[in-house]
Amino acid sequence: MTDTKVEEKILKAAKKEFVAKGRGGARMQAIADEAGVNKALIHYYFRSKDQLFQRALDSAFSELMNLFLLDITKTNSFKEMLMVLIDTHCKFFIQKGNILNFLLWEIRNDHDAVKESFRRMFDVVGSLVARKINEAVKKGEIRRIDAFEFILNLLSLDLFFLMSLPVISSALEFADEQVEILIENRKREIFRLLWQDIKK
């Protein structure tokens, strides 16, 4: 097995362990067992738990950022870009299970590594969204808006729903197909609320 494949297996196992148990609760031996490698091999590739945590974190944020950038650059209008942003954001966190709770927990616990990874992603995606806003304003697609406030509105509508989804679906005893309908309806509603606010 190549070095790259070994690193990928370790990173995949590390993300699973960190998301399930947090930075403090994760154990290197559990990561080694999940990856099917010797614990000494993890230290060989990543030196320490902190370095492995940082790499796993960067990998998760990079995956989300690359999805945003790939999907956003394919859009032809701000309206289309807004639909894609909402859809990509929701799909990523729903497919990745507990990663949203993990990130919020680590940020709340004042971990600089999470803040730094988030800041880097926000800078890249935020600057692209700001550029798209300026272009849309010039084209007359939308009114003049503050990019930061727009992103906060988008995140607050998305994140609250995603965090509360397990509680809502469990409390109301929704079947899987009902949850899927709820998600699609909510994405449309989030889009409607944001678009009605900014369109010309």
Residues 15 and 100 placed together within one structural domain of the fold = no
- Burial of 93 (C-beta count, 10 Å sphere; 0-12/13-18/19+): buried
Look at residue 110 in the predicted model and tell me its pLDDT: 64
Residues 18 and 63 placed together within one structural domain of the fold = no
**Domain of 3: which CATH number?**
1.10.10.60
Residues 27 and 112 placed together within one structural domain of the fold = no
Look at residue 179 in the predicted model and tell me its pLDDT: 93
Residues 32 and 105 placed together within one structural domain of the fold = no
Residues 42 and 83 placed together within one structural domain of the fold = no
Q: Domain range spanning residue 13?
A: 1-47
Closest by Cα among 144, 148, 142, 153 to 129: 148
- List per-residue pLDDT tens for the chain, 200 residues long: 676 788 999 999 998 898 888 888 889 999 999 999 999 999 898 989 989 988 888 887 888 788 878 888 888 899 999 999 899 888 888 887 677 777 777 777 767 777 788 888 888 888 989 999 999 999 999 999 999 999 999 989 988 898 888 889 999 999 999 999 999 999 999 999 999 999 98
Residues 32 and 72 placed together within one structural domain of the fold = no
Residues 36 and 75 placed together within one structural domain of the fold = no
pTM, entire model: 0.80
3 state SS of 142: strand
Residues 6 and 92 placed together within one structural domain of the fold = no
Residues 77 and 36 placed together within one structural domain of the fold = no
Look at residue 112 in the predicted model and tell me its pLDDT: 78
Residues 61 and 136 placed together within one structural domain of the fold = yes
Residues 89 and 35 placed together within one structural domain of the fold = no
**Residue after which a domain boundary falls, among 9, 25, 47:** 47
Between CA 178 and CA 148 the distance in angstroms is: 34
Look at residue 1 in the predicted model and tell me its pLDDT: 63
The count of structural domains within the chain is: 2
**Domain of 111: which CATH number?**
1.10.357
Residues 73 and 172 placed together within one structural domain of the fold = yes
Burial pattern 131-155, b for ≥16 Cβ within 10 A else e, equals ebbeebbeeebbeeeebeebbebbe
